[in-house]
């Protein structure tokens, strides 16, 4: 099963992707985690990504597409995966479609985790206290990430709707209930 998880920052993508990956025995690939790790380790990638991330902007498409291409080429994704945080722009979605096609592969579903703006802002400010992510602690950076999501990421919802693989799941309420809803949405035909 090859899945993409979509949703605004704070929608619970990361938390739920981890849970579902474990339950369905899929690889969980979070571009946010991967980039934060690169920044922490001071790698070339980390150096390039840092200023964008601190401002709540997206890192350039070619940078992130290159990383995903490497993952696809390495065969790591061969047994099924959940992409969390990628794609985030229409060019990224197109690049993903093309690289998968080249490998005779494709996505089974794109899952949109639906939550309201108010809920997102509440969740990110409490996450800031728990996880200590600088991009969560600064209200103006949080607002910018939401803006960036609306302008750059929301258009890929239409992209996947047109490909007839989009499924929306209500992302509000009890964490276990959301996991259950996701699992149902993913496993039903």
Site for ligand ADP, rule CB under 6 A: 9-10, 31-32, 35, 52-53, 56-59, 64, 85-86, 88, 92, 145
CB of 180 to ligand ADP, least distance (A): 22
The DSSP secondary structure of 68-137, one letter per residue, reads HHHHHHHTTTTT-EEEES---SHHHHHHHHHHHHHTT---SEEEEEE--HHHHHHHHHHHHHHH--HHHH
CB of 35 to ligand ADP, least distance (A): 5
| 145 is a catalytic site residue | yes
| 133 is a catalytic site residue | yes
Give the C-alpha separation, 111 to 6, whole Å: 6
**Do residues 82 and 29 make contact, with C-beta atoms less than 8 angstroms apart?**
yes
Give the C-alpha separation, 87 to 175, whole Å: 24
Question: Left (φ > 0), alpha (ψ -120 to 50) or beta: where does 89 sit?
Answer: beta
For ligand ADP, the closer CB: 48 or 168: 48
For ligand ADP, the closer CB: 32 or 80: 32
CB of 109 to ligand ADP, least distance (A): 18
For ligand ADP, the closer CB: 149 or 186: 149
* Catalytic residue (one of 102, 133, 143, 150): 133
Give the C-alpha separation, 174 to 60, whole Å: 35
CA 151 and chain centroid, separation: 16
CB of 125 to ligand ADP, least distance (A): 12
Q: Any bridge partners for residue 27, and if so which?
A: 81
* Catalytic residue (one of 71, 88, 150, 181): 88
| 123 is a catalytic site residue | no
For ligand ADP, the closer CB: 150 or 187: 150
With CB atoms as reference, the residue minimizing the distance to ligand ADP is 32
Give the C-alpha separation, 106 to 94, whole Å: 12
Active site residues: 13, 88, 127, 133, 145
């Amino acid at each position: 099963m090859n899945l993409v998880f979509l949703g605004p920052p704070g929608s619970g993508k990361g938390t739920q992707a981890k849970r579902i990956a474990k339950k369905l025995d899929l690889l969980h690939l979070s571009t946010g985690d991967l980039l934060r790790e690169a920044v922490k380790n001071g790698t070339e990638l980390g150096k390039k990504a840092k200023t964008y991330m601190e401002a709540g902007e997206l890192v350039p498409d070619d940078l992130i597409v290159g990383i995903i291409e490497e993952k696809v080429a390495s065969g790591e994704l061969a047994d099924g995966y959940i992409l969390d945080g990628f794609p985030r722009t229409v060019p990224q979605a197109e690049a993903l479609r093309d690289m998968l096609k080249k490998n005779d592969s494709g996505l089974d579903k794109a899952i949109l985790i639906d939550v309201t703006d108010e809920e997102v802002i509440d969740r990110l400010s409490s996450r800031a206290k728990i996880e200590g992510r600088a991009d969560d602690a600064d209200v103006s950076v949080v607002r910018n990430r939401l803006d960036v999501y609306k302008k750059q990421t929301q258009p890929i919802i239409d992209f996947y709707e047109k490909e007839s693989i989009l499924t929306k799941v209500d992302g509000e309420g009890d964490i276990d209930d959301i996991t259950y809803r996701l699992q149902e949405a993913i496993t039903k035909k």
